[in-house]
A and B are shown apart, each in its own frame.
Chain A
Amino acid sequence: MTRKQKRLAIIGGGVGFLTAAVLLVMFAFSQAVAYFYVPGDLAKADLAPNTRIRLGGLVEAGSVKRGDGKTVTFSVTDTLATVPVTYTGILPDLFREGQGVVAEGAFVAGSPVFVADTVLAKHDETYMPKDVADRLKAQGVTLGGKENIR
C-alpha cells in the first residue's frame, strides 16, 4: 500500500466508526430515554400507552396502602393533579408520605394507574429531587424549610 492509501484506510475506518457511533447515539436517544413529568403535566402530554416516563411529585399523605405485602399503592401529587401508582418491591429507605419521590415506569393501556418498576427517594431526609422541587416551585407550592431544595 502506498502512503496515501494507508492514510485513507485509517481515516476511512475512523470516519466509518464515528458515523456508526453518532447514528447509534441518535437512535438510543429516540428509544432509551425517559422523559420527566409531574402529574399536572400528564393531561397535556398525551402519552402513548407503555411509554416509559419518570413521574415525580410528593407522596400524598394517607395514600400509601400495602396490598398483599409486596405490592404497594400510593398517589403522587403536585397539588394540581394526582396519579395513583402501584409498585412491587421494596421501597427505598427514605420513602415517606409527604416527601418527594420519582417513580419510573409506564401507564398500561386503558388504565389510569401508573405501574412503576423503580422508585427513587434519594438518600437525605431533607432531599427533594431537583426536578420535583423546580416544578413544584413553578406551580407555587411552598416547600417547608430552606433546606428542602438541595
Chain B
Amino acid sequence: MIIELGHYALVLALATALIQSVLPLVGVRRGDRALVELAGSAAIVSFLLVTFSFAVLTFAYVTSDFSVRNVWENSHSLKPLIYKISGVWGNHEGSMLLWLLILAFFSALVASFGRNLPETLKANVLAVQAWIAAAFTLFILLTSNPFARLVPAPGEGRDLNPVLQDIGLAIHPPLLYLGYVGFSVCFSFAIAALIEGRIDAAWARWVRPWALAAWTCLTAGIAMGSYWAYYELGWGGWWFWDPVENASFMPWLAGTALLHSALVMEKREALKIWTVLLAILTFSLSLLGTFLVRSGVLTSVHAFATDPTRGVFILAILVVFIGGALSLFAFRASHLKSGGLFAPISREGALVLNNLILTTATATVLTGTLYPLVLEALTGDKISVGAPFFNMTFGLLMLPLLFAVPFGPLLAWKRGDLAAAAQRLFVAVGAGLLFAAAVYYARNGGPVLAVLGIGLGVYLILGSITDVALRSGFGGVAGAVAFRRFLGLPRSAFGTALAHVGLGVTLIGIVAVTAYETETVVEMKPGMLVDAGGYSLRFDGMRQGRGPNYTEDTGHFTVSRGGVKVTEIWSSKRLYSARRMPTTEAGIRTFGLSQLYVSLGDEITGGGIVVRIWWKPLILCIWGGALVMMAAGIVSLSDRRLRVGAPSRATKTARLVAGAAE
C-alpha cells in the first residue's frame, strides 16, 4: 500500500510540475500576481512530493520488501543497513529518482531563498526548472518506474553489485548529482533572462552563488568518485578517462569557466552573452552526462543499467532542452546589450583566456568521448580513446592555463600591467625553480618533465598566495598591520587564492604519482620480502574469513623500514555469495601523503600467491587539492557580498530615485 502511495506521490509531482511550468509564465505575461506567486508554492509542494516518494522507496529497501521489483533486483536481506540505504541510488531507477529529488530540492531552494529576486524573474526561473522536472518525472514514470511490483514476491533479493557496496558509493552519487543538477539553476536563470530579454550585472550576482554551490559539490563528487575507483577497483588507478568520468568532468570544466566569466559580468558588465551561453552549455553537458551514463550507450564500469527505450527517451529530452535553449539563445542573444571594454592585458583579458582554454579543453574531452560513438554509428569501426589521447590533447592545452593562473588576480581590471605582475611573481617563479632543482638533486636526476611539473605546482601554490600576501602588505608594513589587513580581506579573495592553491596541490600529486610510482608484480610465498618505496613488505600468509554477505581470503603483510616493524597490511579477495561475484579489497596504508597499495591476484600451486604492490608517492595530494578547492568554494560562498549585495538592481534604481528627489 505504502509503495503505491509513493508511486502516486510521483504522479502528483508530475502534475505539480506541469502546473508550475505553465501558470507562472502566464502570470508574468498577464501581470497576474496570484499566478506568479504560485511558482514558489508549487516548487515546494513538488519537492515534498518527490521527497515522500523517495522516502517510500528507501523504506522498501530498508524493510527488504522484495515485492518491489527494484528492491528485489538490487538488495538482499543480509546486506548491512547502510548499503540497503545507499542501494536505493545504486541502480538506474533509484538513481534517476535521486536526480529528480535533487532537482526539486534546488527549485525549492530558489523558491525559499530567492526572496530578493524580482518576482517575475523568480517565476520564470521556477517555470524553467519545472520543465526539466516534468520531463524527468515523465521519464521515470514511463520507462524507469522504481515502484513496479513483482507477483509473487520472491523470498530473497539478488543483492547489490558488490563493487557498489561501499561507503564511497553511499556518498559519491548524491554529491555528484548536487553538482551536476545544481547547474540546472544556472540554466534556468539563463533561459529566464533570455525570455525576459534583459540581463545585467545583478543577474550575474544572482547566478554566481548557485554556480559556486554546484561547482563545490561537483568538485567533491568527482574527487570522491576518483578515490572510490582507486581503492575499490583494485587497479590502483585514480582516473581512467572513462566516458562516465568524462561525463562528470565536462560540466565541471564548463562550470569552472562559468564561475570565472560570471565574475567579469558581475564586476564589469562585459561578456554577458558569453556567460548566458556558458550557463546553458554547462547544464547541457550535465544532461549529456545523464544521457551517456543512463542510456547505456557506453561500455563502461559504471553503466549498470541498459535499456534502449530509456536511451531514446533521454536523447529526446536532451535534444529538446539543448536544442530549444540554443535556439532561444540564437533568437534573443542580439537583444542583450554587451558592454564594458577592456584591454587584452587586464583582469578581464586573463579571465577570457581562462574561458578560452577551459572551453577548448572541454571541447576536446567532448570530442574524445563522443568520437568513438559517432564513428561506430557511421562506419562500424570500433576504437577506444583512452588516456594517451586525453594526455596529448587535454594535458597540453591546459598547460598554458597553469602558467597563467597566478597572473590573473594580479592584473588590474580594464588595463593591467603584465611586467608588474611578473615582477610580483618573481618569488613564486624562483621558489618553483629552486624546488624543481632540489627534487632533481634529491632523486639523482629523473625525468626532467616531472621535475618541472612539480616546480610548476609549487609556483602555482606560491603564486596564488602572492595576491593575498601583497594585498595585506606582508613584507611592506608591520606584521600586526598586515595581519589585520589580511583578516579584513574579502572572503572571495581567499576563495580565489585557495582554489588556485588546490589546483597546484592536485597538480603536484598527479605529477608525482605519474612519474615516481613504482609497481611490483611478484609471486610471493609466506616469509618472502619485497621492497617498495623504501619500505619492506613481508608476506605472512593467507587467512579465511566471512562477512555478512561474503566470504574472503585475506593476505597478511608486515611492513617494516630499516628492519623495524612499522605497520601491517591486510589485502583481501572477497566472494559475494548472492551474485557469486569476486571483488578485490586492496590493502592500503598511508605514510604522510604517500600510500602503499597491495592487491592480491591468483593463488599458485605450492602455496604462493601473485601480489601487486604499488608505491604511490604524494597520491593524497590529488584528492587533497580537490578538498582545498571545495573549501575555496565554501569560503567564497560565505562572502557577504554574495548575499548582502545581491539585490543591487533594486537598490540601484532606489538610489537613482533618491538622487533625483534630492
Chain A residues close to B by CB (< 8 Å): 1, 3, 6, 9-10, 13-14, 17-18, 20-21, 24-25, 27-29, 31-36, 54, 66, 68-70, 88-94, 104, 122-125, 129-131, 150
CB distance from B343 to the nearest CB of A (A): 6
Chain B residues with Cβ under 8 A from A34's Cβ? 383-384, 386
Chain B residues with Cβ under 8 A from A125's Cβ? 579-581
Most chain B CB atoms below 10 A, which of A21, A34, A36, A94? A21
Most chain B CB atoms below 10 A, which of A66, A122, A129, A130? A130
Given A6-B344, A90-B612, output 9 extra A-B contacts at Cβ < 8 Å: A17-B356, A21-B393, A28-B368, A31-B388, A32-B391, A36-B381, A68-B523, A122-B301, A124-B581
- Which stretch of B118-126, B218-226, B544-552, B599-607 is in the interface? B599-607
Most chain A CB atoms below 10 A, which of B381, B384, B522? B384
Q: Which of A10, A14, A33, A94 contacts B384 (CB 8 A)?
A: A33
The distance in angstroms between the C-alpha atoms of A31 and B573, with both chains bound, is: 37
Would you call B599 and A90 a contact (CB within 8 A)?
A: yes
- Among B284-337, those with CB < 8 Å from A are 296, 299, 301, 303-304, 306
Q: Which of B299, B344, B368 contacts A129 (CB 8 A)?
A: B299
The distance in angstroms between the C-alpha atoms of A32 and B368, with both chains bound, is: 11
CB distance from B587 to the nearest CB of A (A): 14
Q: Which of B233, B384, B610 contacts A36 (CB 8 A)?
A: B384
A9-B344, A17-B356, A94-B582 as given contacts; A32 in contact with B381, CB under 8 Å = no
- Which stretch of B248-256, B357-365, B624-632 is in the interface? B357-365
Would you call A36 and B383 a contact (CB within 8 A)?
A: yes
The distance in angstroms between the C-alpha atoms of A106 and B196, with both chains bound, is: 58
The distance in angstroms between the C-alpha atoms of A131 and B385, with both chains bound, is: 14
Chain B residues with Cβ under 8 A from A88's Cβ? 521
Would you call A69 and B161 a contact (CB within 8 A)?
A: no
CB distance from B392 to the nearest CB of A (A): 4
Chain B residues with Cβ under 8 A from A32's Cβ? 385-386, 388-389, 391-392
A13-B344, A89-B521, A93-B582 as given contacts; A21 in contact with B397, CB under 8 Å = yes
Would you call B521 and A70 a contact (CB within 8 A)?
A: yes
Task: Please name 17 pairs of A and B residues whose Cβ atoms are closer than 8 Å in the assembled complex, sorted by A.
Answer: A3-B341, A6-B344, A18-B360, A21-B393, A25-B367, A28-B368, A54-B382, A66-B602, A69-B610, A70-B523, A91-B602, A93-B234, A93-B582, A124-B304, A124-B581, A130-B299, A131-B299
Q: Which of A6, A24, A28 contacts B341 (CB 8 A)?
A: A6
Chain A residues with Cβ under 8 A from B610's Cβ? 69-70, 90
Cβ contacts B225-251/A at 8 Å (1 or 0 each)? 000000001110000000000000000
Chain B residues with Cβ under 8 A from A21's Cβ? 360, 363-364, 393, 397
The distance in angstroms between the C-alpha atoms of A37 and B31, with both chains bound, is: 64
The distance in angstroms between the C-alpha atoms of A131 and B163, with both chains bound, is: 23
Cβ contacts B566-583/A at 8 Å (1 or 0 each)? 000000010000011111
Q: Which residue of A lies closest to B608 (CB)?
A: A69
Would you call B357 and A17 a contact (CB within 8 A)?
A: yes
Chain B residues with Cβ under 8 A from A6's Cβ? 341-344
Would you call A29 and B573 a contact (CB within 8 A)?
A: no
Chain A residues with Cβ under 8 A from B599's Cβ? 90
Would you call B360 and A33 a contact (CB within 8 A)?
A: no
Total B residues in contact with A, Cβ cutoff 8 Å: 57
CB distance from B309 to the nearest CB of A (A): 15
Would you call A69 and B360 a contact (CB within 8 A)?
A: no
Would you call B371 and A29 a contact (CB within 8 A)?
A: yes
Tell me if B188 counts as interface (CB < 8 A to partner A).
Answer: no
Chain B residues with Cβ under 8 A from A27's Cβ? 392
CB distance from A52 to the nearest CB of B (A): 8
Q: Which residue of B lies closest to A17 (CB)?
A: B356
The distance in angstroms between the C-alpha atoms of A89 and B356, with both chains bound, is: 42
Q: Which residue of A lies closest to B580 (CB)?
A: A125
Tell me if B53 counts as interface (CB < 8 A to partner A).
Answer: no
CB distance from A11 to the nearest CB of B (A): 10
Q: Which residue of B lies closest to A32 (CB)?
A: B388
The distance in angstroms between the C-alpha atoms of A92 and B582, with both chains bound, is: 10
Chain B residues with Cβ under 8 A from A90's Cβ? 521, 599-602, 610, 612
Chain A residues with Cβ under 8 A from B161's Cβ? 123-124
CB distance from A87 to the nearest CB of B (A): 11
Would you call A54 and B384 a contact (CB within 8 A)?
A: yes
Most chain B CB atoms below 10 A, which of A33, A54, A88? A33
Chain B residues with Cβ under 8 A from A20's Cβ? 397
Tell me if B509 counts as interface (CB < 8 A to partner A).
Answer: no
CB distance from A37 to the nearest CB of B (A): 8
List the 3 closest A-B pairs by CB distance, nearest first. Answer: A69-B523, A32-B388, A90-B601
Tell me if B584 counts as interface (CB < 8 A to partner A).
Answer: yes
Q: Which residue of B lies closest to A38 (CB)?
A: B382
Q: Which of B306, B368, B612 contacts A89 (CB 8 A)?
A: B612
The distance in angstroms between the C-alpha atoms of A13 and B360, with both chains bound, is: 13
Q: Which of B383, B391, B522, B604 contacts A35 (CB 8 A)?
A: B383
CB distance from B499 to the nearest CB of A (A): 23
Would you call A91 and B301 a contact (CB within 8 A)?
A: no
